[in-house]
Chains A and B, each alone.
Chain A
């Protein structure tokens, strides 16, 4: 399975920077599937899952943003107590370290989706596949 392409964008932790970024994406008429922020008091990283990551990257770079495409893995989890624990236990039992994760709810087909970034992506993907985690095909995410 291919990885999902996440946008990682450098942002200063300053009033209006986030809105400015999202305005550009809105103008492209591109939908944001999921969003997460990791920051310090001065700067941070805005992580986005969008329907057309390449186009957004190109457009943001034209406007001098620093953008990287990062491989992540989307996994469906059941919306019940312990739903996420199963996935994390699977990774932990196989000594796969988590860099970060964030979740979003999707109402049509899956209960909830977690986006995983692992220290060893290839090894982690194998573990998830062998552990029968419900991996979601990236195209499905882009076209939600």
Chain B
């Protein structure tokens, strides 16, 4: 079934016309209502009337996470704060998060795009959606929630964790759709296996997964363990949240809701457009967002896009699964983490040297972070209690910064590799995500 056939099966020509109209509108609103855009565009000597065709978008400056942070907290709102009915945040590199504000209309749009995707995955008002994404400032939980309610499904807002409880509810409520991050999904699968519960004992029909990097092998493993198809959900807080693009039953790319989010693919070095079908950095523009227009946001996600009529009947542009990042951001347990955040936390403790290494592993399908820190004379004491105290203090500082528990380990000086010319190897990712 197709939720909005008019849009989802629109001809390329009509879509471009709609996009141009909306682009002109959003650039005008941004220029007039948001000092940040007014200043940037004036400096670049580009004005709303310069947008005559879609290609003209290239004249506009990019917006980066740094720009969003500089506008913290409400600097990018295009409406009075009283019009904003909900706020989410994503992690930043300096401790201040980036804020995403939504008006009532924006929440409707969010629900709408999620509804399209969930319909595409084959569910409707008879279904029971168990949403293991966290509810809170993270957009994952609420995005799925709004979409699920929009299509009239029954949503179980259970959030992540309490795996035994999850399983109990899956059985008792007859959950038909499970939403999770791949790593948490595999963890649930393991528990099910240990409890001797077979997929056929459950009522599952479909799985939606997202907010973490994944491989085809991981998807295959999820589908084998749950014996249902699993579809990817893509999104990012800065632009909206989950629901920017979602996979259909063809499982060969994600339909990007281009009537709301205009995609460009650029070469991250030259910052120029690259031909359709080639891999590069995804740049997104919110065409309809009222509360906080985001124009030419550099996602740093690497993908490619292609217009083609899909086997599912939709004409919406398709983007390939994300294959990497153009910066050093890590996704750990679905949370965005920059190594610089960990460094900042470590250096907040007096005497700690900036020699550290982040080691990521995924035992039992759950991400674990170990941070090795070289000991230094200033943090060495002839007392085990004090040494352990330092270690715990470092772990606490990192937790405060990134919101995740890590294992900190003190190691001997000069044991972490230094690279003379380039950057030190700060991250060792042993999670097999590639």
Q: Is B377 an interface residue (CB 8 A)?
A: yes
Contact check: which of A38, A47, A66, A70 meets B375 at CB < 8 Å?
Answer: A66
Is A10 within 8 A of B384, CB to CB?
no
A40 partner, pick from B377, B384, B412, beta carbons under 8 A: B384
State whether the Cβ of A84 lies closer than 8 Å to any Cβ in chain B: no
Tell me the nearest residue of chain B to A41, going by C-beta: B409
User: With A43-B409, A45-B387 known to touch, is A66 a contact of B377 (CB < 8 Å)?
Assistant: yes
In whole Å, how far is B268's beta carbon from the nearest beta carbon of chain A? 38
Q: Does any Cβ of A come within 8 Å of B250's Cβ?
A: no
Docked-complex contact B384 and A11, CB < 8 angstroms = no
* Interface status of B382 (Cβ within 8 A of chain A): yes
Assembly CA distance A17 to B413 (angstroms): 13
Name B409's closest neighbour in chain A (CB-CB).
Answer: A42
Contact B413 A66 (CB under 8 A): yes
Total chain A interface residues with beta-carbon distance under 8 A: 21
Say whether A59 faces chain B, with CB atoms less than 8 Å apart.
Answer: no
Residues in A neighbouring B221, C-beta threshold 8 A = none
Q: Interface size of B by Cβ–Cβ distance < 8 Å?
A: 17
Report how far A42 CA is from B373 CA in the complex, Å.
12
Known: A10-B375, A66-B375, A66-B376. A38 touches B412 (CB 8 A): no
Task: Write the nearest CB–CB distance from A119 to chain B, whole angstroms.
Answer: 10
Q: How far is the CA of A64 from the CA of B376 in the complex (A)?
A: 10
Residue of B nearest to A63 (CB): B414
Q: A66-B375, A68-B377 are in contact. Are A45 and B384 (CB under 8 A)?
A: yes
Contacts of A47 in B (CB 8 A): 382
Name the distance in Å between B413's Cβ and chain A's nearest Cβ: 5
A68 & B412 in contact (Cβ 8 Å cutoff) = no
**A38, A64, A117: which contacts B384 (Cβ < 8 A)?**
A38
Within 8 A of A (CB), among B377-404: 377, 380-384, 387-388
A 1-16 to B, binary, CB cutoff 8 A, 1 in contact else 0: 0000010101110000
A39→B387 CA distance, assembly (Å): 10
Chain A residues positioned under 8 Å from B387 (CB to CB): 10, 40, 43, 45
User: Are A66 and B415 in contact, with the CB atoms below 8 A?
Assistant: no
Interface contact A64-B382, CB-CB below 8 Å: no
Residues of A within 8 A of B376 (CB): 66
A10 in contact with B412 given A38-B384, A43-B375, A66-B380 (CB within 8 Å)? yes
Residues of B within 8 A of A68 (CB): 377, 380-382
The winner among B388, B412, B415 for most chain A CB atoms within 10 A is B412
Q: Is A104 an interface residue (CB 8 A)?
A: no
User: Counting CB contacts under 8 A, is B46 at the interface?
Assistant: no
Q: Is B410 an interface residue (CB 8 A)?
A: yes
A130 close to chain B: CB less than 8 A: no
List chain A residues, Cβ under 8 A from B312. Answer: none
A102 contacts the other chain (CB 8 A): no
In the complex, what residue of chain B is closest to A117 when comparing beta carbons?
Answer: B382
The answer to whether residues A42 and B410 also contact, given A8-B382, A66-B380 and a CB cut-off of 8 A, is yes
Contact B414 A99 (CB under 8 A): no
Within 8 A of B (CB), among A44-86: 44-45, 47, 64-66, 68, 70
What are 30 residue pairs bridging A and B, where the CB atoms are less than 8 Å apart in the complex? A6-B382, A8-B382, A10-B375, A10-B380, A10-B387, A10-B410, A10-B412, A12-B410, A12-B411, A12-B412, A12-B415, A38-B384, A40-B384, A40-B387, A40-B388, A42-B409, A43-B409, A44-B384, A45-B382, A45-B383, A45-B384, A47-B382, A64-B412, A64-B414, A66-B412, A68-B377, A68-B380, A68-B381, A68-B382, A70-B382
Known contacts A42-B410, A66-B377, A66-B412; 18 additional CB pairs below 8 A are: A10-B375, A10-B380, A11-B412, A12-B412, A38-B384, A42-B409, A43-B375, A43-B387, A43-B409, A45-B383, A45-B384, A64-B412, A64-B414, A65-B413, A66-B380, A68-B380, A68-B381, A68-B382
Question: Footprint of B on A, CB under 8 Å?
Answer: 6, 8, 10-12, 17, 38-40, 42-45, 47, 64-66, 68, 70, 99, 117
